[in-house]
Amino acid sequence: MTGRTSSRRGWKILIFLLATGLLGAGGAALHAWWPSGESSSVLTVRYRTGAAATADVAKPWLEIINTSGRSVNLSDVTLRYYYTAGGGTAYGSNCVQTSLGCSSVTLRTAALEDPAPKADHYLQIGFTAAAGTLKPGGTSQGIGLQLYRVDHRELNQADDLSFDAKSTTYQPSKLVTAYLDGTHVWGKEPNGDTPAPAASASASASASTSASASASGGAPAGVLFDDFDYTGPDDPALAANGWTVRTGEGGPGIKDTWSKQGVSFPAGEDGRAGQALRLRAGTDGTARGTRQAEFHRTRPTFFTGTLVARVYLSDKPASGADGDHVNESLFAISPDHASPRYSELDYEYMPNGGWGRYGPLLDTTSWRNSERGDRVTSSHNQKLGGWHTMVITAVDGKTTYSIDGQKLFTSGSKHFPREAMTINFSTWFVDLPFKGARSWEMKADWMYYRAGKAVSAADAEKAAARFEAAGTPYLNTLPKS
């Protein structure tokens, strides 16, 4: 009789939980209440796919649940998602959405030392200290990721070990492995290894933050970094990370010709790991047949401090005849041209000159008012085809432009920024001097901004290298406005 009464009471509690929605969010909220059958595991990983087996981009969503009896620092947690690269093809990855903040997620693709059927590579997911802690029964909630070929060809995920076409809602997946302080605690590795006993794994859970986590989570406040690992101009991660591709009307150059067609993300500098932003402007010599390209922050970002970008400037067209007055630009600008506090800081490289001047020509310009033409500029007759580290430093009432550590120009307090500006990359035509199809390109391998501080080119390059080594394609520790 007692047992029957307890059973009825348990069912009433379950019905109440169902009615009040506590079984929502894929059941994540109940891990502290009801053992899942995996209660001997320190961590449980749940998975769902947001893409079919054949797709341009793999879209794994992962959730980490702390099924131990103690708190776990996410900076001590590593996940591995296994796939087949097919002939060693380069893959890229990024974070699209997570309540943890994509800046706190690290991503790295690597080859397995011992390839297995349906697994010769893996995507490793880690976390910085900013990701925080999971309490017992706590969940990371969904972490939306993208995995894709850098050549942007179609994927066949049926050959990928961790992919499951049937998992369109969150399900525990042993095909994704989890590690806590380097100890294997969840899932089955491609070689068949299974997790260590729960007792030793639980002991590992109480360990201090790992060195690798502290290295990747040690970025100072006031930093924006992007390695430009994106699938294309329509990648949802662009908006999530505060970027947009210009498609609107207006100038400069050939008005109303801005198009996303010229924005892509090929392999990075010298074809090494990672990707680069590529801006291609093309024309047939007519306004109707012209497409210009611009990529910029969606909100004002740069006020004072240092903006650094690793940029490829072109001296020759990517296709067609030479001779265009093309402008390859890195600049910061007020969103409103009529603003009483208007500010603009420009690099403009014109390999063939422009506006009646002979090239190659690099203009460095600080603006106070675009409508009245209030600016100071310095022109440099330099041939700059190739990769360069371009720096704009605005501190202590002075703005300095330098390339590869060489100072080019300094403007004073009258033309110092008076309000926050967007960061922009652009390739456009000053005019159309002849007919015939041709195109021009500029690229950016990475961008680094440090708010309020002067940073040398060498120090920015070291910081970019550290972020890349830590698997941090995007980082934003700027104050939230």
Tens-digit pLDDT string for the chain (481 aa)? 333 334 444 444 434 433 443 333 333 333 333 334 444 689 999 999 999 999 999 999 999 999 999 999 999 999 999 999 977 789 999 999 999 999 999 999 999 999 999 999 999 999 999 999 999 999 999 999 999 999 999 999 999 999 999 999 999 999 999 999 999 999 999 998 888 654 343 333 333 333 343 434 467 899 999 999 999 999 999 999 999 999 989 999 999 999 999 999 999 887 666 899 999 999 999 999 999 999 999 999 999 999 999 999 999 999 999 999 999 999 999 999 999 999 999 999 999 999 999 999 999 999 999 999 999 999 999 999 999 999 999 999 999 999 999 999 999 999 999 999 999 999 999 999 999 999 999 999 999 999 999 999 999 999 999 999 999 999 999 998 6
Q: In whole angstroms, give the CA distance from residue 237 to residue 99.
A: 14
Report which of 344, 270, 353, 262 is spatially closest to residue 307, judged by C-alpha positions: 344
Report which of 224, 265, 301 is spatially closest to residue 472, judged by C-alpha positions: 224
**CB-based burial of residue 15 (10 Å sphere; 0-12 exposed, 13-18 middle, 19+ buried)?**
exposed
pLDDT at residue number 193: 84
Task: Give the distance from CA 230 to its chain's centroid.
Answer: 7
Based on DSSP, count helices (H) and strands (E) in the chain, helices before strands.
5, 30
Report which of 411, 413, 265, 248 is spatially closest to residue 335, judged by C-alpha positions: 248
The Cα diameter of the chain in Å comes to: 99
DSSP string covering 293-311, please?
EEEEESS--BSSEEEEEEE
The amino acid at 99: S
Q: How many CB atoms within 10 Å of residue 164? A: 18
Q: Cβ contacts of residue 353 below 8 Å, gap of 6+?
A: 325, 359, 360, 361
The amino acid at 452: G
Q: Cβ contacts of residue 38 below 8 Å, gap of 6+?
A: 44, 67, 172
pLDDT at residue number 269: 85
3-state secondary structure of 350: strand
Q: Characterize the bridge pairing of strands 119-127 and 77-83.
A: antiparallel
Helices (H), 20-173: none
Q: In whole angstroms, give the CA distance from residue 258 to residue 255.
A: 8
| 301-to-245, 394, 470 alpha-carbon distances in Å | 16, 13, 24
3-state secondary structure of 339: coil
Q: Are 148 and 56 in contact (CB under 8 A)?
A: yes
Q: In whole angstroms, give the CA distance from residue 129 to residue 209.
A: 8
Residue 450 pairs with which residues in a beta bridge? 223, 306
The residue count for the chain? 481
| CA quadruple 324, 410, 330, 459: dihedral, nearest 10 | 130
Q: Cβ contacts of residue 6 below 8 Å, gap of 6+?
A: none
Domains detected in the chain? 24-212 (2.60.40.710), 223-476 (2.60.120.200)
| 29-to-100, 128, 141, 185, 363 alpha-carbon distances in Å | 17, 24, 10, 21, 58
